[in-house]
A and B are shown apart, each in its own frame.
Chain A
Amino acid sequence: MADNVKPRVRVPSSATAGEVVTIKTLISHQMESGQRKDDAGNVIPRSIINRFVAAYNGETVIDVTLEPAISTNPYFEFQAKIPESGTMTFTWYDDDGSVYEDSQEITVG
């Protein structure tokens, strides 16, 4: 597992039925591109988050493929329609096989 990886999400805790809410996510990650060399001239191996998925009550909201050109600490902001109460789950997939997860409840009332 890469060092100091920590997911953060910002989701409203409540919404009205059918409301479109804004969701912000950020994961701290060095996103090493695989293009750089160290002081000795050796290639620093690629180590990035390669996929990000957000799902609401099991239904995919977005599913993103990340490429090496994406910067350190990738940040996503997107919108989702919230039909009923449920749980938004967030999953980041690391090159090294690690999977980082976070989830947040949204109450419709």
Chain B
Amino acid sequence: MARGFRSGGAAALALVLAAPLAGADEVIDDELVINGEIPIVTQAPAPEHVEAFSVIRSGWTFRSPETQAMEMDDFDNPAILGVEAARDDFDASLGANGESCASCHESPEDLAGVRAVYPKWDDAAGEVQTIEMQVNECVTERMGAEAWPYDASRMVNMSALMSFVSRGEIVNVAIDGPAAETWQQGKDMYYTRYGQLELSCANCHEDNYDNMIRADHLSQGMVNGFPTYRLKNTKLNSVHNRFKGCIRDTMAQTFSPGSPEFVALELYVASRGNGLSVEGPAVRN
């Protein structure tokens, strides 16, 4: 058995090596149009600050046709259940003031385009904020309710709703000005090797994208499709939850969802996708 396994592994390795090196200029024919009406940019020229690629590709382009199809129709996308739950929450009054999200924002559609520029610098708070932090600011300060846990399904659903109403908008995260310092921190993290396996984000998502990592097809690690419904755990997953999973897989102690480290990393990784469409809530493995 051990022998068989080893030779199988060697064959797999040979296959990987024989495959052409990650095709940065490869053109993907498949086009993603959601519900036949929302065109999604799934590949675009890489922004200047991303030196590793000439073309950036959404994680959608790395998935199998079946998984891709699930995202093309909202009826087939299980993430939409989370979006609908968040719509109910949007209208529900929270806290002592009897206010809801709808008291200020009227409808989720009023917030179209917001997702595309997050995470972003918040002057009042003096820090870079993710959309989850912004939601919690509203929940605690405006409505006087208790903060939602960063990774609770309620929060992930609301984040999914924010992506949903911005679908098709082009990601344009600011990396200069007051956000520059946090962005640099995120960039440093991206290239830092973590864990017993000593892997950085770049080792997989720059050096080896389009190759197989065991049974999975490595993507460029773009976050434009988050939060994503993952077939593996059949629920919506936040970006930070995914980061946590990646760092855990390097056999390291991870940071917590919502920690300043992950906020910085999210800013940096989101900026790598400047030029792609907001695609969330997407369907992934």
Say whether B84 faces chain A, with CB atoms less than 8 Å apart: yes
Contacts of B78 in A (CB 8 A): 73
The residue of chain A having its C-beta at the shortest distance from the C-beta of B235 within the complex is A72
A10 near B84 (CB under 8 angstroms)? no
B84 to A26, Cβ gap below 8 A?
no
Report yes or no: B75 in contact with A24, Cβ–Cβ below 8 A: yes
> With an 8 A cutoff between CB atoms, is B138 at the interface?
no
| Cα distance A72–B235 in the bound complex, in angstroms | 11
Asked if B92 is at the interface of the complex by the 8 Å CB criterion, the answer is no
Which chain B residues numbered 224 to 259 have a C-beta less than 8 Å away from chain A? 234
A46 is an interface residue with CB less than 8 A from chain B? no
- Contact B75 A73, beta carbon cutoff 8 Å: no
How far apart are B208's CB and chain A's nearest CB, in angstroms? 34
Contacts of B234 in A (CB 8 A): 72
Determine whether B81 belongs to the interface, using a CB cutoff of 8 Å to chain A.
Answer: yes
Closest to B84 in A: A6
Which residues of chain A come closer than 8 Å to B38, judged between CB atoms? Answer: none
B21 CB within 8 Å of chain A: no
A74 to B59, CA, bound (A): 27
Question: Chain A 1-41, CB within 8 Å of chain B: the 1/0 string?
Answer: 00010101010000000000000101010000000000000
B22 within 8 Å of A (CB atoms): no
Chain B residues, CB < 8 A from A26: 75
Q: A6-B84, A24-B75, A73-B78 are in contact. List 5 more A-B contacts (CB 8 A).
A: A4-B85, A10-B75, A24-B76, A26-B75, A73-B81
Quick one: which of A10, A24, A28 contacts B81, CB cutoff 8 A?
A28
CA–CA, A28 and B75, complex, Å: 12
Task: Give the residues from 68 to 121 in chain B that come closer than 8 angstroms, CB to CB, to chain A.
Answer: 75-76, 78, 81, 84-85
Give chain A residues whose Cβ lies under 8 Å from the Cβ of B85.
4
Interface bits B41-62 vs A (CB < 8 Å: 1, else 0): 0000000000000000000000
Sort A-B residue pairs by CB-CB distance and give the 6 closest, nearest first. A10-B75, A24-B75, A28-B81, A73-B81, A26-B75, A73-B78
Residues of A within 8 A of B84 (CB): 6
Q: How far is the CA of A10 from the CA of B85 in the complex (A)?
A: 19
Min CB distance B229 to A, Å, is: 12
Residues of the B chain whose Cβ atoms lie less than 8 Å from the Cβ of A10 = 75
In the assembled complex, 11 residue pairs joining A and B whose CB atoms fall closer than 8 Å, in A order, are: A4-B85, A6-B84, A8-B75, A10-B75, A24-B75, A24-B76, A26-B75, A28-B81, A72-B234, A73-B78, A73-B81
**Complex: A4 Cα to B153 Cα, angstroms:** 15
Closest B residue by C-beta to A9: B75
Which of B75, B76, B78 has most chain A Cβ within 10 Å? B75
Closest B residue, CB atoms, query A25 = B75
Residues of B within 8 A of A72 (CB): 234
Whole-angstrom distance between the Cβ of A96 and the nearest chain B Cβ: 21
CB-CB nearest in chain B for A26: B75
A16 to chain B, nearest CB (A): 20
CA distance A6 to B82 in the complex (A): 13
In the complex, chain B residues whose CB is within 8 Å of the CB of A8: 75
